[in-house]
Each structure stands twice: as structure tokens, then as C-alpha cells.
């Protein structure tokens, strides 16, 4: 039976025998004592061995010989070597690392390590080459514990309110949005595409009578961008709900689920985030600010920056500027930009009842970067067909999708949100490469 104790659980134990296991972070080999900082998936602990340096080879006792062997074994340990140690736990407030240490009784080298090829100051690209070693760092470990808490809180919010979790296929027979960003692959005697979004399939759940659905899953974009916020494969968080009156219902749900997630992260990891990232997590207040896109562009222009194209989306600098305005004037890290022009939105976004040039849609901006797009969907099949034609799409290629609307469907809406972007902006990191377990981009398919 495995009697290993995680480092995080040592503080609750009384002094006495324990077994810990993990990798060697540092060895301090001093004249009269040796220290090992052992790290496992939950934290780090100091191990101590009162060293035996010189023994008379004549008449050496068995115990002394074993002590010398242990001392030499510790001296030879390399950074990253995995070990298992049994010894005596002692609580001592003088120990800076957690106020406790383990006196080594026996040490078993489980797996020796070569000299590490990366350092704390290695470039991001090199650290990505050796990602499995980079992930040993406490900051990286914390990112994925935060991710776990964040996703669990989202799921809890939805599940407790009767939502259904779905898993949609990632192999598609046709484009879900833009054929220009599709990865194409051979599929037996035909062609398939990697899904850009679960959009069509989460909408399919509405005529199916599911009511409210969500998914956390991979999405693929054949976008040759090398920015800090783009990836060719990413984790998308999607939600879709029936019986909405407008995109306002979607925004209300969206902000509520984010408040639940940020609250969970702050409660569970706030102190660690402050220590390792120097960031104080702020739980956003509701409602989030809402600004129509045209008005947002005017605000940005008044601050000295003009978005280059009037018929386009807000560009990255515009997003930074409107976020700065909202932070300064409204004290908020989030802002919904609403009422996007139909010319820059997908064919399935519902248009304003009194202005077909605008859509019932929004982008959510967080700390200067767009993290999500949401909308009320068009549920009238005749209108959908006409809007698809306007976008240059062939209705025949969308027949499987249009069938969803030919047999009755309630008014509905939802959003898609990039997980790595949210975490990047939450922790004030500079790239989603840091907040993606294994990043995929135009020039990276390994490890």
C-alpha cells in the first residue's frame, strides 16, 4: 500500500514517521548538514540529513557506514531527480519553508535526471520546447490548478441551474463559419474539416428540446497569426440557451457565470496568485458595462486613436483603449461591446428588428482583449437562408443546419469564449502560450 503523503498535507500531521516523494529542486551540501528541497504536485518541503563526512575505515559500524552512504547519495543528486524519502516529520517554526522539515531516514532514487536544458530566464520558445520541465515551476502548476477551479465553477453554475453538458464532434462535413480558416483533411474517400466552433451543434440542441447546453472542448482555426492571443487549436467554452428575448439575456447569463468563476478562483487561490503573479483577483460587479460598438469607436477617437476602418470590428488597439476608458471611468475590467454591424457578423446572428444593418450581438472585452462573442441567433429559416446568401454561402451546403429550423425551434442565443485568453488576462500574463497546457500554432506541433 502506498503510504506517500503530499507536501500540502504534512502541516496537519503530528511529528513522526512520514513518506514523501517528488523531484529534487535544490540540494544544499554543507559541512555538517545536508538539505534537499523536495517538490511534488502540491508544494515543497525541506528535507534534512545531519551529514557524516569522515569515518575511520577500521572498525566502522554498520550504522555509520549506512549514514555515510546516504550522505554520498544526497551529494550526487541532480536537479529534477525523482526520489522517495521516509523519515521523521518535525514542526519547527524556524524553518522558513512551511515551518516544518523531514529528517531523512532512507532515500530511494526512483528516476535520475539529466542536467536541465532550461532555466528560469530561458526564452518562452525554449521553455515551450521543454514544456514538461517548464510545467514543474510553481507558477505553471498554479495556472492549471486555477484552470481546474475556474472550469469547475462554470460547470457548477450551469449544472445547478439545469443545464446539460454536451460533447460535439470535431470532424465536420462543411464549414461552420468561414471556409478560409478551416483545416482540411482526408476522410476515407472524401474530405472532412476540423471544427472551428461547436456553433451549429449547440444550436441543434435547441430544437431537440434540451433548453440550455454548454460544452468545454477543442476548436481549430487555420489562422497563420503569430500574436500573443491566437492559437491554431484552443479550448472553447460554449453555451447556448432557449427562450431568450434578446442578446441581453445572454449577456446577463454570461456575466453571472464569470462572477461565479472569479469568486471561486479568488477564494481558493487568491493568496497564491498574489504571491506568485503579483496580481490581486477582482471579482467583477454586475451588470458589466455595455457600450454599442459605434459609441465605443467615438470614445476611442476622443482619446486620440481612430480605428482604421469604419466598417470593421474594433481592432486590438481599439480594444485596449476602450478597456482603459472603462477602467478609468467606470472602475471595471470587463465591458460588453454591443450592436455590431451585420456586415461583420456571421449569417446566423439575428438582426435588429428596426435596423437590419445591426445585429443582436456582442463582444466581451477583458483587460483590453476580446475573450468572447455572443448573440441572439436567427431562428426563422427563411431569414437564415437569405442571410446566408448575402454572405456568399450556398444554402444547399448548409442543408443539414437549416433542417434544425424547419421543424420548430425556440428563440435562442449563446456565446463562445476562449479559455486560455481568460486565464492569460486574469493573471496578467503576456501570451496564451503560458496558459495553454500544450500550445499549437502555425510553427508548433511539438511537444
User: Are residues 371 and 324 in contact, defined by beta-carbon separation less than 8 angstroms?
Assistant: no
E-assigned strand segments in 93-232 = 100-111, 164-165, 171-172, 184-187, 190-194, 212-220
Query: Please, what's the b/e burial string for 217-237 (b: 16 or more CB within 10 A of its CB; e: otherwise)?
Result: eebbbbbeeeebbbbbbbbbb
**d(C-alpha 329, C-alpha 302), whole Å:** 14
Residue 56 makes CB contacts below 8 A (sequence gap 6+) with none
With cell 442571410, the residue in question is: 387
Q: β-strand 361-366 against 369-376: which pairing, if any?
A: antiparallel
Tell me if 177 is assigned to a ligand binding site.
yes
Tell me if 221 is assigned to a ligand binding site.
yes
First CA to last CA distance, the chain: 34
- DSSP helix/strand/coil, 302: helix
With cell 436567427, the residue in question is: 378
Tell me if 231 is assigned to a ligand binding site.
no
Would you put residue 67 in left (φ > 0), alpha (ψ -120 to 50) or beta?
alpha
Q: β-strand 369-376 against 351-352: which pairing, if any?
A: unpaired
**d(C-alpha 296, C-alpha 312), whole Å:** 13
Tell me if 420 is assigned to a ligand binding site.
yes
What is the strand order of the sheet 369-376 is part of? 164-165, 212-220, 233-242, 412-418, 369-376, 361-366, 334-338, 290-292
Tell me if 370 is assigned to a ligand binding site.
yes
**d(C-alpha 282, C-alpha 327), whole Å:** 12
Binding residues for L-aspartate: 177, 221, 373, 377
Binding residues: 177, 221, 370, 373, 377, 418-421
Binding residues for ATP: 370, 418-421
Amino acid at each position: 500500500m502506498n503510504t506517500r503523503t503530499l507536501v500540502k498535507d504534512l502541516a496537519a500531521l503530528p511529528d513522526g514517521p512520514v513518506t514523501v516523494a517528488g523531484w529534487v529542486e535544490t540540494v544544499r551540501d554543507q559541512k555538517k548538514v545536508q538539505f534537499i528541497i523536495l517538490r511534488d504536485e502540491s508544494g515543497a518541503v525541506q528535507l534534512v540529513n545531519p551529514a557524516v563526512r569522515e569515518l575511520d575505515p577500521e572498525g566502522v559500524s554498520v550504522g555509520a557506514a549506512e549514514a555515510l552512504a546516504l550522505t554520498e547519495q544526497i551529494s550526487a543528486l541532480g536537479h529534477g531527480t525523482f526520489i522517495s524519502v521516509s523519515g521523521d516529520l518535525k514542526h519547527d517554526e524556524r524553518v522558513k519553508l512551511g515551518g516544518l522539515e523531514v529528517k531523512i531516514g532512507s532515500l530511494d532514487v526512483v528516476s535520475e535526471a539529466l542536467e536541465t536544458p532550461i532555466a528560469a530566464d530561458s526564452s518562452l520558445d525554449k521553455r515551450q520546447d521543454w514544456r514538461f520541465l517548464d510545467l514543474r515551476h510553481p507558477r505553471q502548476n498554479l495556472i492549471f490548478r486555477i484552470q481546474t477551479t475556474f472550469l469547475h465553477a462554470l460547470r457548477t453554475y450551469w449544472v445547478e441551474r439545469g443545464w446539460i453538458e454536451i460533447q460535439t464532434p470535431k470532424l465536420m462535413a462543411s464549414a461552420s463559419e468561414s471556409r478560409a480558416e478551416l483545416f482540411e483533411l482526408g476522410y476515407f474517400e472524401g474530405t472532412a474539416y476540423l471544427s472551428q466552433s461547436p456553433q451549429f451543434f449547440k444550436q441543434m440542441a435547441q430544437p431537440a428540446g434540451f433548453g440550455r447546453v454548454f460544452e468545454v472542448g477543442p476548436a481549430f482555426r487555420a489562422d497563420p497569426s503569430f500574436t500573443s492571443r491566437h492559437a491554431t487549436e484552443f479550448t472553447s467554452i460554449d453555451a447556448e440557451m432557449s427562450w431568450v428575448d434578446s442578446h441581453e439575456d445572454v449577456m446577463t447569463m454570461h456575466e453571472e457565470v464569470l462572477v461565479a468563476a472569479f469568486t471561486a478562483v479568488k477564494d481558493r487561490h487568491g493568496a497564491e496568485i498574489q504571491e506568485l503573479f503579483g496580481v490581486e483577483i477582482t471579482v467583477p460587479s454586475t451588470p458589466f458595462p455595455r457600450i454599442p460598438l459605434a459609441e465605443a469607436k467615438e470614445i476611442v477617437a476622443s482619446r486620440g486613436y481612430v480605428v482604421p476602418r469604419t466598417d470593421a470590428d474594433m481592432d486590438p488597439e481599439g480594444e485596449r483603449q476602450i478597456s482603459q476608458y472603462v477602467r478609468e471611468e467606470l472602475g471595471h475590467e470587463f465591458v460588453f461591446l454591443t450592436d455590431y454591424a451585420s456586415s461583420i457578423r456571421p449569417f446566423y446572428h439575428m438582426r435588429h428588428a428596426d435596423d437590419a444593418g445591426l445585429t443582436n450581438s456582442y463582444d466581451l472585452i477583458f483587460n483590453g482583449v476580446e475573450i468572447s462573442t455572443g448573440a441572439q441567433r436567427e431562428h426563422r429559416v427563411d431569414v437564415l437562408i437569405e442571410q446566408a446568401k448575402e454572405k456568399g454561402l450556398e444554402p444547399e451546403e448548409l442543408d443539414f443546419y437549416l433542417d434544425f429550423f424547419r421543424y420548430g425551434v425556440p428563440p435562442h442565443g449563446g456565446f463562445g469564449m476562449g479559455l486560455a485568453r481568460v486565464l492569460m488576462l486574469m493573471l496578467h500574463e503576456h501570451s496564451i502560450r503560458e496558459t495553454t497546457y500544450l500550445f499549437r500554432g502555425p510553427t508548433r506541433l511539438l511537444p
